Amino acid sequence: MKTRSLIIFICLMFSVTAQAQRSTHASKSFNDYRPIGETRLWTFLLKDSTLGQLISTVEKETKINGESGYVLNDRIYLDYSKVGNPVIIDVSGQHYVSSNGTYLGDDLKFIINEQEERLNFKKDNDNITGFVTRLGEEVDFEIPCSENRFAIDNNFMDHYEAYLAMRDLKVGDTISDSIFMPQTGLMGMIEGQVVGYSWQQLHKTLFDSVFVIRLTSPQNMEMFFTPDKKLLKVNIKSIQMRIYLDAIQQRPVSKLQVSSFTLKEFIKLLPAYSVFIIIGFITALLFFSRKLLSRFGLISFGIGLLSVSIVIWVQLPIQNYLFKLLYAPSIAIGEASFFMGLMTIIPAGIIQEGLKIICIPLVLTLLKSKRDNSILIGTLLGVGLGIAEASYLVSIVHPQEIFSWGLLERVSWIMFHVISGALIGWAYYNGKGKLILILGITMLLNIILRSLPFLSPIDILPIEMIVILYAVIVLIFLLVSLFIIKKQSYQQ
């Protein structure tokens, strides 16, 4: 009876939430929902075969004929030979949008099988001008286009997403707007209706609350769009195609972008920061019941906080470079490679665990202490690094709610850093042999944990199960580490 009542309560809760969220306001600017440096990846499936992916990155700010906007680097690769059609489409280049998401231009290269063509358009007042190529020969182009017109091309999900993000949505709304379609060079219409808002199963174990939007033009499709401006799924039933938003990645932000982090945003994130601090020190208390606030502890914690600068300015740029060099090309052709993904995160394991072993003797030297305090120092270094890294990452990509999968992942990583720091400190106390062994284990475990998200694009594990797996592995790591360290008391 209790179980049945709980199920009814949960269903009612979701029902009430769905009824309450029947509308959402437009983003104030394009950069509000897609910050500079963000990459979104959509995967295309036709009759259960993966055709390829669209990779869309907000590269930088720009000006087109005096109007400010943003540059999107797009690459779409679709291999229809996998379903018996000998056509391979490869489109890459830059798409320009204004601050309110409307069209400013394109500079694209098309390769259909082996035939290459170009398209270069710019918005100039009430006209779109430029050129296209036909069999390699440039042909001038011009078409009238009024202000504040969106551009949408078939298969470019980021175009559809921008259109939906930059308008108010309400269940029952009719959509009817004139749009420009760059690949055809024609004006067209986007028409449809917002038919509902509900809790939907989108893919296997992926569930979310979404607006359901049915378009009749420029083609018949069913779209699933979240209030926080993500186009999670598209069904094109006439050709049995499904398109999924598989990944969102934010590259390290520049100093200029960091300065845009406002006091309002800081206050909004205070609950998350509080959770990080509490989790960090509770985990440390499992190893030390005293001395956390001693001179050794506070200095170690401070150095741990400062060491995140190495993560931001060294580790993340290296990972971003390797991601573009190794992993992005494989996902662009629909062959997401776990091995290539693994290569991009190896520097994280080496740098972060290396920081701990470098900082422990550094603190001991600064404070003129013997090895007796190495475990305390390692533990508090881990607390500082874990809290600082988690706080930095949520400041880049804000969580939508305090209890979320993203925050659970961050909490698991804070615990990992505390445990790893304590274990490396214990190994440092016990000699070179144990130190080499433990350092190798913590580096390997760091790399393994960071490699788990690369199982999602290849459909082995959904992201929710990966986050749960994070937590389970970290808890096992905690129990094993406590058993090793607590066999003797080193709290001297």
Per residue in 384-428, pLDDT (tens digit) is 999 999 998 888 766 545 556 778 889 999 999 999 999 999 999
Q: Are 420 and 356 in contact (CB under 8 A)?
A: yes
pLDDT in tens, 438-461: 999 999 999 999 988 877 655 566
Q: What is the pLDDT of residues 160-214, one digit of tens each?
A: 999 999 999 999 999 999 999 998 889 999 999 999 888 777 776 667 788 999 9
Eight-state DSSP code of residue 25: P
Question: Tell me, what's the pLDDT at 390?
Answer: 92
What pLDDT does residue 320 have? 81
Tokens read off for 274:
């509080």
Tokens of 215: 């378009």
Task: Find the distance separating the first CA and the last CA of the chain, reported in whole Å.
Answer: 55
Read off the pLDDT band of 48 (50, 70, 90).
Answer: confident
For tokens 């062994």, what's the residue?
437
Q: Which long-range contacts (CB under 8 A, 24 or more apart) does 289-297 make?
A: 289/491, 290/491, 291/376, 291/491, 292/376, 292/380, 294/376, 295/367, 296/363, 296/367, 296/369, 296/373, 296/376, 296/377, 296/380, 297/376, 297/377, 297/380
Tens of pLDDT, residues 294-332:
888 889 999 999 999 999 899 988 988 887 777 766 665
pTM for this structure? Answer: 0.56
What is the pLDDT at residue 2? 45
Rg (CA), the chain: 26
Mean pLDDT of 326-349: 75
Q: What is the DSSP letter of 80?
A: G
Residues 6 or more apart whose Cβ sits within 8 Å of residue 57: 37, 38, 39, 40, 72, 73, 74
Contact 80, 97 (CB under 8 A): no
Top mean-pLDDT range of 245-249, 262-266, 477-481: 477-481
| 3-state DSSP assignment of residue 308 | helix
Over the stretch 62-90, which tens digit does the pLDDT of each residue have?
Answer: 988 888 999 999 999 998 887 788 888 99
